Amino acid sequence: MRQFRAVIRSLVTQHGTLVALDDASIIWKQKGEREKRLKITAQASVILGLIGPNGRINRVVIGDDYGGISFVSIPKMELIERFVVGDSRIRSLCCSSISGESILVGCEDGKVHMVGQNVPNNVVTLFELEGPASALRVEGTVLHIHQGWERKVVDWMGENTLLATV
């Protein structure tokens, strides 16, 4: 009997589709090519595509249910590196620079981290919120963080610069 896996996350590009399945498998499907698979440590909770110098997505960052961040090459589907920021589910990812060298990570437990090779010890906890960081965005020198219906605009230390309700 064949087991069917549920797609829990996906990323669609003009060059192919990346799907994350409920068994922690990641599959890259490209038109006219054989699909490529990779199994990560835990089920994916969020996916962020990073654009390379050729203008195409050449890496993805995958946050998982157990606090891990996996960097995966596209289309080769090779694990580049993996960082663990804690034991809380990753809720959001955001590039903190245009080059994608460091990534902001929002967790279920409210912690906001920065990860990457250029970050001291590869992982730095920036601050902690009173609830999950559902979405992150960098705009100039401030961070926009969505928590449910509320949007917070904070500095890099987590101090409010403006409070808005959306």
Tokens 């038109």 -> residue: 31
Separation of alpha carbons 129 and 112, rounded Å: 8
Can you give the residue range of the structural domain that contains 11? Answer: 7-165
CATH of the domain at 145: 2.130.10.10
Task: Report if residue 55 sits inside a domain.
Answer: yes
Task: Report if residue 2 sits inside a domain.
Answer: no
Separation of alpha carbons 105 and 113, rounded Å: 5
Task: Report if residue 1 sits inside a domain.
Answer: no
| Predicted pLDDT of residue 83 | 93
CA distances from 31 to 70, 74, 146, 157, 159 (A): 25, 14, 36, 44, 46
Q: Splitting the chain (166 residues) into consecutive groups of 10 residues, what average pLDDT does each group show?
A: 81 92 94 92 94 89 95 93 93 80 91 89 90 89 86 84 54
Rounded to two decimals, the pTM is 0.88
- Comparing C-alpha atoms, which of 50, 65, 34 is closest to residue 97? 50
Task: Report if residue 121 sits inside a domain.
Answer: yes
| Predicted pLDDT of residue 142 | 86
Using one digit for the tens of pLDDT, what is the confidence trace for 127-150? 998 889 899 998 888 888 888 888
Q: What is the count of structural domains for the chain? A: 1
| Predicted pLDDT of residue 166 | 46
